[in-house]
Structure 1
Amino acid sequence: MLSLNKYSHFLMDYDGLIVDSEKLYFETWCRVLNEEGQKVCQRFHEGKHESEVYERVRLYLRQDMTLEEISKYRASMFDELVAKGQLELVEGVKGLLGKLQSIAPMSIVSNSVKDIVEDGIRSTGIEGYFNNLFCFSDKVRRKPSPDIYNLAVSKLNLKKNSILAFEDSDSGVIAARKAGVPVICISSNTLMEDFCKKNYQEYFRSAYDLLLSF
């Protein structure tokens, strides 16, 4: 049985772990890609930064657009979808957040910028669960860099082994490990399951499965 009582703080990834933002991100890509490009994007986009996806799908754009143009357009479309209430929590995560909150405080560590995270947690009604938001900015590099984790550890002023992270992507797991923070992976993605097995990483297929282990 998994024991979490020894931890003083939990750090949670955001996209894909707490909110099902990947669905909306994919929809915004579909607005600028032809049918073949949408198929390529669907196989590749999860957990990848926008610039990586752009390089993979740029040949399938409906019209010639720079990365900067696409970024602005997709950000506008994403905000519109969130404002319409289309951003949803990952199944089972509300119960997990409630359980974790009863044990120790929680904060978010995200590759997204703070404005996006703030809008998302307000839209889904979970802003009350988190003490801090540690997000990508011009001062910290995105995961798999450990920058965001190092920032969180410094600001929280806690020992690394007293913090437990939750991630759903290889870049997130790598970032936590590089920072020396214990991490649990939660993902239904078979590629992530293989990654975790190869790297001796503790892994659960869903928030429900993790809750059952308590």
Structure 2
Amino acid sequence: MTKLEKLTELSQGDYTAFLYDCDGTLADNMQAHKDTYVQVAANCGVQIDEAIIDEFAGLPILRVVEEINKRYGCSLDPVSFDKQKYDLYYREYIQHIRPVEFVTEHLKAHAGKVKIGVVSGGSREAIERTLTILGIRDLVEVLICAGETDRGKPYPDPFLAAADKLGAEPGGCLVFEDGDAGVRAAEAAGMDWIRIDKVEAI
């Protein structure tokens, strides 16, 4: 059984909407994000371990920078860091994004059968461009990004906003995530979830 077949099996049920995370779930770009975090921090005189990005995967960049400041006792400016990171990401990384094939194929196979949303801690500009590069933007009916709800992941707000815009009940939504923050947000929203990084071929 391939990963796509396994994911299809795991996602069977009476669901009206599938809500996908983007970075690390649809897009195989987490290493690029780690590299840009490390490089921008180094440019600011702070050496960080890229493992902290895994730890806080799914949080908006501003929140991740706050966590870096706490962990490393530094005072990086979150807004400036955000801009520098995205400038670097757009300049050197985004055009090389590749899909997480079994997840993007899963989305394509279910578009038109269930409602499709993408819920991300990234900026709308970055996620719009990422989904376009992956060739799936036109299949996504609702997109919720960083700063578009009062609270981001791990709070339920982004997933609840997506469900509301799709006209779906939270209990009828299935979330696809690769980060702890996203899983906690899905649980808080009363939604079922699948950790796509735990899906293995059989």
Q: Same fold (TM over 0.5)?
A: yes
Taking every aligned residue pair, what percent have the same amino acid on both sides?
A: 26
Matches of 1:29 and 1:58, distance apart in 2? 16
Matches of 1:139 and 1:164, distance apart in 2? 20
> 1:50 aligns to what?
65
Note closer, same or farther for the CA distance 1:19–1:53 as it changes in structure 2 (3 Å cut).
farther
Note closer, same or farther for the CA distance 1:2–1:23 as it changes in structure 2 (3 Å cut).
closer
**3-state DSSP of counterpart to 2:50:** helix
* Cα deviation 1:93-144 (Å, max 9, x = unaligned): 2322233326423110111121111011112222122111011225431100
> 2:28 aligns to what?
20
Paired residue type of 1:12:
Y
> 2:168 aligns to what?
158
> 2:5 aligns to what?
none
The 8 Å contact of residues 156 and 189 in structure 2, kept in 1 or not, is answered as: yes
Residue range with higher mean Cα deviation, 137-146 or 64-73? 64-73
Give the TM-score, by structure 2 length. Answer: 0.78
The 8 Å contact of residues 54 and 67 in structure 1, kept in 2 or not, is answered as: no
**3-state DSSP of counterpart to 1:154:** helix
Paired residue type of 1:171:
A
Matches of 2:41 and 2:159, distance apart in 1? 34
**2:193 maps to 1:180:** no
Matches within 5 A, 1:61-80: 66-80=77-91
Q: Report 1 or 2 for greater relative contact order, CA contacts < 8 Å, sequence distance ≥ 6.
A: 2
Gaps of at least 5 residues in structure 1 are: 188-204
Matches of 2:10 and 2:26, distance apart in 1? 20
> 1:112 aligns to what?
122
**2:17 maps to 1:9:** yes
Gaps of at least 5 residues in structure 2 are: 1-8
**2:164 maps to 1:149:** no
Number of residues paired by the alignment?
186
Paired residue type of 1:183:
W
Give the TM-score, by structure 1 length. Answer: 0.74
> 2:109 aligns to what?
99
Matches of 1:10 and 1:29, distance apart in 2? 30
The 8 Å contact of residues 17 and 174 in structure 2, kept in 1 or not, is answered as: yes
Note closer, same or farther for the CA distance 1:74–1:6 as it changes in structure 2 (3 Å cut).
same
> Which one has a bigger Cα radius of gyration?
1
Return the offset for 1:172.
0.6
